[in-house]
């Protein structure tokens, strides 16, 4: 019988749907009989969802394919002025040097 440690080790494969049939059967059997592991699974899945949600529609998002417009776009902190200047200077230098 699969132990709690083994079940937790298999969580990532379970989430990816890559457990083989026999292991998935063991996994499900353990879950059906172990409330703490069911709770752990649920909180593990919640963590994944929270991580994604925390970065969606925020200044941290990695996905820029959203259709946010100026009116509904999240408020973001401004660029540090020194960084803007540095980028513009570097670009100008590159042009001057013909790089």
Partner 1 sequence: MQDHSPNRYARPASSGSQSYSCPKIIEAEVLDEASLVEGLRTGNNAAFESVVRELGPRLLAVARSLMGNEADAQDALQDAFLSAVRSIDRFSGESKLSTWLHRIVVNACLMRLRTKRRRPEESLDGLGPTFHADGHRRNPGPAWIPPAQSGIEAIELRRFVRTCINQLPETYRVVLMLRDVGGLDTEATANALNLTTNAVKTRLHRARQALRELIEPRMIEAGIIEPQAITPSLPESCTDSPHPDKAQSTSAALSEQSLPKRSMPAQTTIESRTDRGVPR
Q: Is 71 in the site for partner 1 (CB under 8 A)?
A: no
- C-alpha neighbours within 13 Å on the C-beta side of residue 87: 5
Q: Is 25 in the site for partner 1 (CB under 8 A)?
A: no
For partner 1, the closer of residues 5 and 72 by Cβ is: 5
Q: Is 23 in the site for partner 1 (CB under 8 A)?
A: no
Q: Is 50 in the site for partner 1 (CB under 8 A)?
A: yes
Rg over CA atoms, the chain: 24
Q: Give me the long-range contacts of 34-40 (CB less than 8 A, separation at least 24).
A: 34/4, 34/7, 36/4, 37/4, 37/7, 37/8, 40/8
Residue 75 CB, nearest distance to partner 1 (Å)? Answer: 10
Binding site for partner 1 (CB under 8 A): 1-6, 8-9, 11-12, 15-17, 28-55, 58-65, 76-92, 94-95
């Amino acid at each position: 019988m699969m132990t709690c440690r083994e079940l937790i080790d298999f969580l990532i494969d379970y989430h990816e749907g890559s457990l083989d049939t026999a292991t998935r059967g063991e996994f499900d059997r353990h879950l059906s009989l172990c409330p703490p592991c069911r709770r752990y699974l649920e909180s593990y899945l919640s963590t994944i969802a929270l991580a994604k949600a925390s970065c969606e529609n925020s200044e941290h998002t990695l996905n820029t394919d959203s259709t946010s417009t100026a009116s509904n776009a999240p408020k973001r902190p401004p660029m540090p002025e020194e960084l803007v200047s540095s980028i513009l200077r570097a670009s100008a230098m590159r042009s001057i040097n013909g790089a």
